[in-house]
């Protein structure tokens, strides 16, 4: 019998990463041995999504997987990013990891970049969700019990009222025309906190909002930390 391929999953804290994990775990040829995430070392938050590192670590606990945090300087040039990733890839190979999986759906330039950066590392890129119909996939995620909260929105794509909303059927029904149901074009990002991939839920409440020129973020806090 062929031994399962030891695989690390790129973990953004969002629904696509969570669904990629769920998909990989159903494949007997894959052994997911851990998650890895890039974190803004100054803010201690997930790059792009803006989620607190403490919540990221809580997710890994519920998922039952080790988490490898890759600290990135701020600001971070592409050269600095590649250097950080190269060191991590070397570490992964030394651990016996053979493949790296990503939750990308349809952006070919992103996939091509990931493939390029892994060339010569000894790590094989995997894309378990690639080519899925995003509308059908979004509905499947919701129907499965996957629960997530919108942690970030792109200001020119969505209004502030969407920030902090749950990723559910009601949200999908009210997304404006032209918005990808999975936010694959960067329209929104999510924090996944329950679903078939988790051992127990990590419900969150919304805190302070940060409105920037190009994007808006909401600070997510564990339900247990709600004030009042």
For the stretch 60-100, pLDDT in tens is 999 999 999 998 887 778 888 899 999 999 999 999 999 99
H or E element that contains 6: strand 5-10
CATH 3.40.50.620 domain range(s) in the chain:
5-126
Provide the CA 117 distance to its chain's centre, in angstroms: 19
Query: Residue 94: which residues within 8 A CB-CB, separation 6 or more?
Result: none
Going from the C-alpha of 64 to that of each of 6, 7, 60, 153, 227, the distances in angstroms are 16, 15, 6, 29, 29
User: Residue 162: its pLDDT value, please?
Assistant: 97
Question: What is 5-126's CATH number, 3.30.530.20, 1.10.3720.10, 3.40.430.10, 3.40.50.620?
Answer: 3.40.50.620
User: Residue 24: its pLDDT value, please?
Assistant: 98
Query: Residue 41: which residues within 8 A CB-CB, separation 6 or more?
Result: 71, 72, 73, 74
Long-range contacts (CB closer than 8 Å, 24 or more residues apart) made by 159-168:
160/209, 160/211, 160/216, 162/188, 163/206, 163/209, 163/216, 163/217, 163/218, 164/206, 164/209, 164/218, 167/15, 167/138, 167/141, 167/142, 168/142
Write out residues in the chain with pLDDT < 50, as ranges.
226-228
The answer to whether 5 and 123 have CB atoms below 8 angstroms apart is no
User: Residue 228: its pLDDT value, please?
Assistant: 40
User: Residue 42: its pLDDT value, please?
Assistant: 65
């Amino acid at each position: 019998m062929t031994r399962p391929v030891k695989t690390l999953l790129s973990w953004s804290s969002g629904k696509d990463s969570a669904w990629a994990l769920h998909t990989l775990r159903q494949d007997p040829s894959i052994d997911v041995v851990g998650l890895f995430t890039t974190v803004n070392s100054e803010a201690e938050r997930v790059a792009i999504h803006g989620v607190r590192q403490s919540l990221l670590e809580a997710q890994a606990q519920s998922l039952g997987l080790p988490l490898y945090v890759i600290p990135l300087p701020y600001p971070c040039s592409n050269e600095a990013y590649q250097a950080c990733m190269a060191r991590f890839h070397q570490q992964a190979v030394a651990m016996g990891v053979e493949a790296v999986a990503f939750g990308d759906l349809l952006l070919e330039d992103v996939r091509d970049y990931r493939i390029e950066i892994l060339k010569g590392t000894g790590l094989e890129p995997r894309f378990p969700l690639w080519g899925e119909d995003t509308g059908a996939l979004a509905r499947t995620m919701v129907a499965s019990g996957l629960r997530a909260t919108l942690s970030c929105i792109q200001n020119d794509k969505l209004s502030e009222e969407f920030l902090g909303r749950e990723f559910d059927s009601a949200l999908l029904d009210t997304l404006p025309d032209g918005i990808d149901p999975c936010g694959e074009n960067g329209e929104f990002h999510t924090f996944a906190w329950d679903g078939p991939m988790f051992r127990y839920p990590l419900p969150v409440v919304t805190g302070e909002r940060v409105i920037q020129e190009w994007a808006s973020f909401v600070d997510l806090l564990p339900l247990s930390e709600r004030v009042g």
